[in-house]
């Protein structure tokens, strides 16, 4: 009796969202899996030919895709570090009860307000005009030059822009975490003579574990899926050195019109990333429980 | 001694924040320049301040209609996401059986799917609903709201789930003993405790939906339905951008969300204060 | 006055509707009538047939952002003149194709839309309505119509052309006629402290257009591309391409690295006299005019590869009707295109508002800017080479050729011949 009642409550609370979510995300995803087994150019009126695992076999011969997967991994690792370090530093700074905290909090979050494409265009000005200007004024031409022209530095440029955009985002989540730490605990630590570093490492970090889990995952998924900034900042260049995974798939689907192949790529990548990140979530979640 | 170090860190913070804002500076100064002036120097201050590009952008974008559309879509989507995701996440976090874990993992895993691989099948599903169930999912703001909710569900559930886990269960148990129904328990006891994370989610979702171009561009066609990002398309040619209008339009676009953010972040602080009292 | 206009508009509308209703009824105007049989209306002014209900509202979706304003204004005039409604949709420049594809997938396709000549039109073949019976297609300039399987399916926006846009104060076309004179001119300009010839980093402006010349100079460009796709010929072994490699080496040796130049700065440098020549099309005039009037100073000449003395002229975009739209919509779409290409208002808008170089024999070009005039004159006299780019495999310029060209311009040691070999390799991959 009680069990059926519990079940009814469970359904009442979860079914509406799950229903919407299923129609918008899950079913299209399943249709997408089906498409990964056909050869089709993506134009609805044109024929779809079932080809079995052909698309999947092709992926592993596609050097450019493998290269783009590698760029994405490099980019993600770098972005993960820089976004979270900076986001955490920001959150610590603005919660330090300084007079300018409020203003700073708004300023750090502002980049997040400029969405998607235009962001990359604005940064092009900074990399082409501002960097060269600084380089010629300071004589540090080997650091301040147009990063977008160097295959190696163009990737770093992507990391910089992504960090600039996402640091404020993670900052907000870290702030929510830090604010959740009871003031009494910090006061008590202060009274006990703990210095700032001790307070950060012994109290804040452990209690921030849930925020870490969330931020790491959000940055990870954001970095893996990055497309807008990629398109508007480097267009994958120079010489494909910054072509990320999402862009490669997008080109496959809409550029070449290899719909099935593009879907197959997306699914392979999804499986790999899902296994990796879910492991990461599981590990950090475990650590939370230990607290 | 302590005062100087404090002053120092304040100066540092301001400097850092200002450096962080340099792209915004680029955006604003170039919204006042002609193409020739922008070509001369993209970094310099404009030679004269005139709001002609702003009024032109306002007019071209049909700004007030677009603003109303964006507001309608964003506000309703966010409210629905918050209500449904908090309820779902709470149930998933507080029930300890396999199904909840699986559902939660599915929510989390789908956050990794690039939208580009979902968009064509999504259009098919929506078309199927439209032709077979006669619900106008496409080319309506309500249809867009529905899809917004679906796409932002994962992240909200994920954030709520993490937050709820850190709240002690004892409070809820006490209320259950008092004879609260689950519904009452959730809205009277649990939801108020989620204030901080709710505001955080609202902020993140408002930003994402307000700025979204791709999804609305696929679902909305009529001029009368255009949201703000959609109405900026006039300024983006294939090879070049009408910089001054695009930058002016962008500035106009983000002003409302900056205001929203400044307003909302106060609530984070308040939420904390309220939480500390309990 | 206003009333007169209103009455006039009503009359015109009545006449047009009557005329169309007449056509329709002859073909069994029920909803089930086959779309193909509806022939285009001719605005038989003065027809006394009774007024029938107006045509269905149609939607237009097209890729050229720059004409959106003018098109919206034109749609209003159309409604005023005929009573029929047109909704203009919008898409940012490079998002057009994706959005079109999504809308077609959702069965929410526009009535009238635009497709690019070549691979894009081939891909969308099944959506292109046969315009063969439309009287206005008879006015399309020879060989300019968009054809699929022998049927006329699209009407060109207009013609466009590209070549070397030059500053008359700095360059004399007489000194740019072949590789030797080109090299000399380039070196002299460089010595004078000018950037002799600027390409820019956008895929088409970096390699797409300039590579057209050796293709267009083949006896049969289409056959050559077919062979290239099959791997039967190589660019690196073909004479015109080998010379192209030498031209590229001269450009690389004397000019500012195009990877550091954006379209915006390319035209800015040209407008301010820092650059003497740019490889560009007549469309770039719209950017130049933002820097002030320089009509007297600019001209367009052929890219002198292998002594070539012709400008490359072609059609980038075409108007088409969505064959999957309802018969009523198709009929309304036909009526609109017919009005666009035959009424004075429509013709006037094409030339003066859209600023296209018309590809129709019944539309006179007037008040053309100097670059467009060069293209128009070349077209009239037949002094043109085709756009072979239309036959390229889908999106090859952006996806495959541009990365090779980027590598070429970033690597000081890479020669033109090596560029060709890399282009061959990239082509082979893309054509698979």
Residue numbers in B near C106 (CB within 8 A): 123-124, 126-127, 130, 138, 218
B251, part of any domain? yes
CB proximity under 8 Å: A 166-225 to B: 169, 172-173, 175-176, 179-180, 182-183, 210-211, 213-214, 217-218, 221, 224-225
Do C205 and C168 fall within a single domain? yes
Count CB neighbours of B205 within 10 A: 24
B6, part of any domain? no
Task: State the residue range of the domain holding C89.
Answer: 2-159+316-353
pLDDT, position C18: 37
A24, part of any domain? no
CATH number of the domain bearing residue A277: 1.10.3720.10
User: Given an 8 Å threshold on Cβ–Cβ distance, is B218 in contact with C292?
Assistant: no
B7, part of any domain? no
Do C129 and C182 fall within a single domain? no
Does residue C21 register a pLDDT over 60? no
What is the distance between the alpha carbons of residues C171 and B213, in angstroms, rounded to a whole number? Answer: 45
Would you state the structure tokens that stand for residue B193, as one six-digit string? Answer: 């405790």
C146, part of any domain? yes
Does residue B167 register a pLDDT over 70? yes
pLDDT, position A133: 80
Spell out the residues 6+ positions from residue C410 whose beta carbon is closer than 8 angstroms to its own.
Answer: A149, A151, A238, A239, C257, C259
User: Given an 8 Å threshold on Cβ–Cβ distance, is A23 in contact with B150?
Assistant: yes
Chain centroid, CA C289 distance in Å: 20
Closest C-alpha to A127, from A117, A116, A135 = A135
pLDDT, position B269: 57
Q: Based on the structure, what is the number of domains in chain C?
A: 2
Do C305 and C412 fall within a single domain? yes
Q: What is the mean pLDDT of chain C?
A: 86
pLDDT, position C47: 40
Least confident of A170-179, C252-261, C265-274: A170-179
User: Given an 8 Å threshold on Cβ–Cβ distance, is C123 in contact with A239?
Assistant: no
Query: Are the C-beta atoms of residues B195 and B189 closer than 8 Å to each other?
Result: no
Confidence of residue B2 (pLDDT cuts 50, 70, 90): low
A39, part of any domain? no
Task: Count CA within 13 A, CB hemisphere, residue C133.
Answer: 14
Decide: helix, strand or coil at residue B32.
coil
pTM score, whole prediction = 0.86
pLDDT, position A7: 86
CB proximity under 8 Å: B 114-143 to A: 114-122, 124-125, 129
pLDDT, position A225: 87
Confidence of residue A288 (pLDDT cuts 50, 70, 90): low
Do C413 and C302 fall within a single domain? yes
Higher pLDDT, A181 or C143: C143
Residue-wise pLDDT for C372-382, tens only, equals: 999 999 998 88
Count of A–C CB contacts within 8 Å?
56
pLDDT, position C341: 94
Closest C-alpha to B117, from A29, A34, A62, A255 = A29
Continuous segment of H or E residues that includes residue B219:
helix B214-219
Please give, rounded to a whole number of angstroms, the shortest distance from the CA of A23 to a CA of chain B.
Answer: 7
Please give, rounded to a whole number of angstroms, the shortest distance from the CA of C278 to a CA of chain A.
Answer: 20
Higher pLDDT, B1 or B66: B66
Select from C59, C101, C202 the Cβ nearest to the Cβ of B239: C202
pLDDT, position A130: 83
Residue in C with minimal Cα distance to A259? C101
Q: Does B211 touch chain C (CB under 8 A)?
A: no
Cα separation of the two ends of chain C: 65
A130, part of any domain? yes
B82, part of any domain? yes
Q: Does A257 touch chain B (CB under 8 A)?
A: no
What mean pLDDT comes out for the span C79-89?
94
Higher pLDDT, C32 or A16: A16
Spell out the residues 6+ positions from residue B111 whose beta carbon is closer than 8 angstroms to its own.
Answer: A217, A221, B154, B155, B158
Does residue C22 register a pLDDT over 70? no
User: Given an 8 Å threshold on Cβ–Cβ distance, is A123 in contact with B23?
Assistant: yes
What is the distance between the alpha carbons of residues A112 and A168, in angstroms, rounded to a whole number? Answer: 7
C294, part of any domain? yes
Please give, rounded to a whole number of angstroms, the shortest distance from the CA of B141 to a CA of chain A.
Answer: 15
Q: Does B4 touch chain A (CB under 8 A)?
A: no
Do C145 and C195 fall within a single domain? no
According to DSSP, residue A127 is labeled I
Select from C324, C395, C403 the Cβ nearest to the Cβ of A255: C395
Residue numbers in A near C406 (CB within 8 A): 237-239
Please give, rounded to a whole number of angstroms, the shortest distance from the CA of B41 to a CA of chain C.
Answer: 11
pLDDT, position B125: 94
Higher pLDDT, A138 or C397: C397
Least confident of A258-272, B111-125, C32-46: C32-46
Please give, rounded to a whole number of angstroms, the shortest distance from the CA of C106 to a CA of chain B.
Answer: 5
B16, part of any domain? no
Query: A73-102 burial, b if ≥16 CB within 10 A, otherwise e?
Result: bbbbebbbebbbebbbebbbbbbeebebee
Interface test with C, best of B30, B33, B35 (most C CBs within 10 A): B35
What is the distance between the alpha carbons of residues C263 and B243, in angstroms, rounded to a whole number? Answer: 13
Select from A10, A42, A129 the Cβ nearest to the Cβ of B91: A10
Least confident of A169-183, B199-213, C307-321: A169-183
Q: Does A41 touch chain C (CB under 8 A)?
A: yes
Do C98 and C193 fall within a single domain? no
Phi, psi of C276 (to 5 degrees): -90, -40
Q: List, in sequence order, the alpha helices (H) in chain A.
A: 2-21, 27-35, 54-59, 63-94, 101-109, 116-125, 131-138, 151-179, 183-191, 196-198, 205-207, 209-224, 228-229, 245-250, 259-290
Chain position carrying tokens 């203009």 = C88
The pLDDT > 90 percentage for chain A reads 29
Task: State the residue range of the domain holding B165.
Answer: 28-40+49-277
Chain centroid, CA C114 distance in Å: 10
Closest C-alpha to B214, from A259, A246, A68, C86 = A246
Does residue C1 register a pLDDT over 80? no
pLDDT, position A116: 65
Q: Based on the structure, what is the number of domains in chain A?
A: 1
C382, part of any domain? no
Q: Does B113 touch chain A (CB under 8 A)?
A: yes
CATH number of the domain bearing residue B57: 1.10.3720.10
What mean pLDDT comes out for the span B206-229?
91
Please give, rounded to a whole number of angstroms, the shortest distance from the CA of B38 to a CA of chain C.
Answer: 10
Do C278 and C426 fall within a single domain? yes
Decide: helix, strand or coil at residue B236.
strand
Residue-wise pLDDT for C416-425, tens only, equals: 999 999 999 9
Residue-wise pLDDT for C304-347, tens only, equals: 999 999 999 999 999 999 999 999 999 999 999 999 999 999 99
Q: Does A45 touch chain C (CB under 8 A)?
A: yes
Task: Indicate if ipTM > 0.90.
Answer: no
C377, part of any domain? no
pLDDT, position C160: 94
Confidence of residue A142 (pLDDT cuts 50, 70, 90): confident
Chain position carrying tokens 């010929």 = C233
CATH number of the domain bearing residue C117: 3.40.190.10
Strand residue runs (E) in C32-145: 58-61, 86-88, 112-116
C14, part of any domain? yes
Do C79 and C125 fall within a single domain? yes
Does residue B260 register a pLDDT over 70? yes
Q: What is the 3-state secondary structure (H, E, C) of C274-330?
A: CEEEEEEEHHHHHHHHHHCCCHHHEEEECCCHHHCCCEEEECCEEEEEECCCCHHHH
pLDDT, position B276: 35
User: Given an 8 Å threshold on Cβ–Cβ distance, is B105 in contact with A278?
Assistant: yes
Residue in A with minimal Cα distance to C264? A125
Count CB neighbours of B97 within 10 A: 8
Q: State how far the alpha carbon of A275 is from the alpha carbons of A212, A268, B105, B151, in Å.
A: 19, 11, 11, 21
Select from A117, A176, A218 the Cβ nearest to the Cβ of B196: A176
Q: Does A144 touch chain B (CB under 8 A)?
A: no
Cα separation of the two ends of chain A: 36
Interface test with C, best of A154, A238, A246 (most C CBs within 10 A): A238
Q: Does C268 touch chain A (CB under 8 A)?
A: no
What is the distance between the alpha carbons of residues B206 and B203, in angstroms, rounded to a whole number? Answer: 5
What mean pLDDT comes out for the span B235-241?
83
Phi, psi of B85 (to 5 degrees): -70, -35
Task: State the residue range of the domain holding A106.
Answer: 62-290
A106, part of any domain? yes
User: Given an 8 Å threshold on Cβ–Cβ distance, is B238 in contact with C69?
Assistant: no
Chain centroid, CA C408 distance in Å: 28
Burial of A26 (0-12, 13-18, 19+ CB in 10 A): middle
A14, part of any domain? no
pLDDT, position B273: 40
Burial of A278 (0-12, 13-18, 19+ CB in 10 A): middle
Residue in B with minimal Cα distance to A260? B117
A169, part of any domain? yes
Q: Does A253 touch chain B (CB under 8 A)?
A: yes
Residue-wise pLDDT for A191-208, tens only, equals: 888 787 888 888 888 888
Query: Are the C-beta atoms of residues B193 and B89 closer than 8 Å to each other?
Result: no
Does residue B142 register a pLDDT over 50? yes
pLDDT, position B17: 84
Q: Does A43 touch chain B (CB under 8 A)?
A: no
Does residue B12 register a pLDDT over 60? yes
- C333, C353, C373 — which closes off a domain? C353
Q: Does B10 touch chain A (CB under 8 A)?
A: yes
Query: Are the C-beta atoms of residues C115 and C154 closer than 8 Å to each other?
Result: yes
Do C222 and C128 fall within a single domain? no
Higher pLDDT, B224 or A121: B224
Q: What is the mean pLDDT of chain A?
A: 85
User: Given an 8 Å threshold on Cβ–Cβ distance, is B114 in contact with A116?
Assistant: no
Confidence of residue B169 (pLDDT cuts 50, 70, 90): confident
Do C295 and C339 fall within a single domain? no
Higher pLDDT, A105 or C130: C130
Confidence of residue C33 (pLDDT cuts 50, 70, 90): very low
Query: What residues in chain C have their Cβ under 8 A from chain B's Cβ atoms?
Result: 59, 61, 63, 65-66, 68-69, 87-95, 99, 101-103, 105-108, 110, 202, 204-205, 263-265, 268, 271-272, 287, 290-292
- Characterise A52 by phi-psi region: left (phi > 0), alpha (psi -120 to 50), beta (else): left
What mean pLDDT comes out for the span C153-166?
95
What mean pLDDT comes out for the span C286-310?
92
User: Given an 8 Å threshold on Cβ–Cβ distance, is C87 in contact with B223?
Assistant: yes
Does residue C7 register a pLDDT over 70? no
Q: List, in sequence order, the alpha helices (H) in C114-257.
A: 119-123, 179-191, 203, 212-216, 221-230, 239-254
pLDDT, position C10: 42
Transcribe A270-284 into DSSP letters: HHHHHHHHHHHHHHH
Q: Based on the structure, what is the number of domains in chain B?
A: 1
């Amino acid at each position: 009796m009680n069990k059926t009642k519990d079940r009814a409550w469970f359904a009442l609370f979860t079914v509406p969202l799950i229903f919407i979510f299923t129609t918008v995300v899950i079913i299209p995803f399943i249709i997408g899996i089906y498409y990964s087994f056909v050869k089709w150019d993506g134009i609805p009126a044109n024929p779809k030919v079932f080809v079995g695992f052909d698309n999947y076999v092709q992926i592993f011969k596609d050097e450019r895709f493998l290269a783009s997967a590698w760029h994405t991994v490099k980019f993600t690792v770098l972005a993960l570090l820089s976004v979270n370090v900076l986001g955490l530093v920001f959150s610590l700074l603005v919660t330090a009860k300084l007079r300018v905290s409020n203003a700073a909090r708004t300023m750090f979050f502002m980049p997040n307000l400029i969405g998607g494409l235009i962001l990359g265009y604005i940064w092009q000005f900074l990399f082409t005009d501002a960097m060269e200007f600084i380089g010629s004024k300071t004589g540090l031409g080997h650091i301040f030059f147009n990063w977008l022209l160097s295959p190696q530095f163009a990737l770093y440029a992507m990391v910089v822009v992504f960090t600039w955009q996402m640091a404020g985002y993670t900052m907000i989540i870290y702030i929510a975490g830090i604010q959740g730490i009871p003031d009494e605990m910090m006061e008590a630590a202060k009274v006990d003579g703990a210095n700032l570093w001790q307070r950060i490492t012994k109290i804040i970090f452990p209690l921030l574990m849930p925020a870490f889990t969330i931020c790491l995952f959000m940055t990870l998924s954001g970095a893996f899926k990055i497309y807008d900034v990629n398109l508007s900042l480097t267009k994958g260049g120079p010489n494909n050195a910054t072509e990320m995974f999402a862009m490669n798939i997008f080109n496959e689907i809409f550029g070449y019109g290899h719909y099935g192949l593009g879907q197959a790529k997306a699914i392979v990548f999804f499986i790999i990333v899902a296994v990796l990140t879910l492991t990461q979530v599981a590990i950090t979640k475990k650590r939370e429980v230990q607290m | 001694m302590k005062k100087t170090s404090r002053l120092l860190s304040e100066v540092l913070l301001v400097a850092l924040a200002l450096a962080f804002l340099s792209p915004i500076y680029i955006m604003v100064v170039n919204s006042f320049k002609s193409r020739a002036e922008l070509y001369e120097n993209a970094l310099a201050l404009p030679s004269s301040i005139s709001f002609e590009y702003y009024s032109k952008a306002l007019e071209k974008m049909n700004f007030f209609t677009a603003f109303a559309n964006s507001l309608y879509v964003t506000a309703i989507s966010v409210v629905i996401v918050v209500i449904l995701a908090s309820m779902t996440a709470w149930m998933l976090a507080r029930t300890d059986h396999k199904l909840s874990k699986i559902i939660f993992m599915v929510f989390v895993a789908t956050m990794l799917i690039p939208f580009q691989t979902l968009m064509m099948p999504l259009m098919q599903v929506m078309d199927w609903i439209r032709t077979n169930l006669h619900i106008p999912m496409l080319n309506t703001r309500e249809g867009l709201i529905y899809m917004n909710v679906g796409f932002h569900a994962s992240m909200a559930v994920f954030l709520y789930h993490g937050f709820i886990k850190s709240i002690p269960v004892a409070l809820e148990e006490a209320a259950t003993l008092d004879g609260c129904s689950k519904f009452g328990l959730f809205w009277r006891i649990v939801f108020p405790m989620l204030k901080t994370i709710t505001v955080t989610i609202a902020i993140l979702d408002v930003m994402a939906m307000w700025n979204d171009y791709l999804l609305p561009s696929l679902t909305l066609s009529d001029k009368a339905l255009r949201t703000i990002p959609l109405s900026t398309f006039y300024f983006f040619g294939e090879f070049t951008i009408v910089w001054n209008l695009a930058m002016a339009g962008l500035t106009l676009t983000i002003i409302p969300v900056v205001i929203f953010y400044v307003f909302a972040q106060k609530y984070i602080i308040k939420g904390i204060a309220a939480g500390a009292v309990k | 006055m206003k009333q007169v206009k209103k009455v006039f508009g009503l009359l015109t509308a009545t006449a047009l509707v009557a005329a169309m209703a007449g056509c329709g009824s002859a073909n069994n105007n029920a909803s089930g009538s086959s779309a193909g049989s509806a022939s285009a209306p001719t605005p038989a002014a003065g027809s006394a047939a009774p007024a029938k209900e107006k045509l269905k509202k149609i939607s237009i979706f097209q890729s050229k952002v720059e004409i959106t304003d003018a098109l919206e204004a034109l749609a209003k005039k159309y409604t005023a003149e005929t009573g029929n409604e047109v909704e203009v949709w919008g898409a940012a420049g490079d998002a057009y194709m994706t959005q079109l594809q999504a809308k077609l997938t959702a069965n929410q396709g526009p009535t009238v839309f635009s497709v690019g000549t070549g691979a894009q039109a081939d891909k969308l073949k099944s959506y292109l309505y046969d315009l063969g019976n439309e009287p206005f297609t008879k006015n399309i300039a020879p060989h300019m119509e968009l054809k699929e399987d022998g049927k006329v399916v699209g009407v060109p926006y207009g013609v466009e052309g590209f070549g070397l846009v030059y500053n008359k104060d700095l360059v004399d076309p007489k000194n740019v006629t072949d590789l030797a004179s080109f090299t000399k001119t380039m070196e002299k300009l460089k010595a004078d402290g000018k950037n002799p010839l600027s390409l820019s980093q956008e895929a088409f402006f970096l390699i797409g257009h300039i590579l057209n010349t050796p293709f267009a100079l083949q006896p049969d460009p289409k056959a050559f591309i077919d062979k290239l796709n099959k791997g039967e010929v190589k660019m690196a072994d073909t004479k015109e391409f080998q010379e192209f490699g030498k031209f590229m080496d001269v450009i690389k040796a004397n000019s500012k690295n195009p990877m550091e130049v954006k379209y915006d700065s390319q035209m800015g440098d040209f407008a301010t006299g820092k650059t003497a020549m740019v490889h560009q099309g007549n469309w770039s005039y719209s950017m130049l005019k933002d820097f002030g009037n320089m009509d007297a100073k600019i001209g367009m000449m052929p890219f002198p590869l292998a002594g070539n003395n012709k400008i490359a002229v072609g059609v980038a975009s075409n108007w088409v009707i969505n064959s999957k739209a309802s018969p009523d919509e198709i009929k309304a779409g036909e009526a609109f295109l017919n009005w666009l290409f035959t009424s004075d208002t429509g013709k006037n808008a094409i030339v003066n508002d859209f600023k296209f170089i018309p590809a129709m024999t019944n539309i006179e070009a007037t008040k053309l800017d100097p670059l467009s005039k060069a293209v128009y004159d070349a077209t009239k006299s037949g002094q043109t080479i085709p756009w072979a780019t239309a036959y390229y495999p889908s999106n090859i310029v952006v996806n495959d050729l541009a990365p090779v060209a980027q590598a070429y311009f970033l690597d000081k040691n890479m020669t033109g011949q090596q560029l060709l070999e890399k282009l061959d390799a990239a082509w082979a991959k893309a054509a698979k």
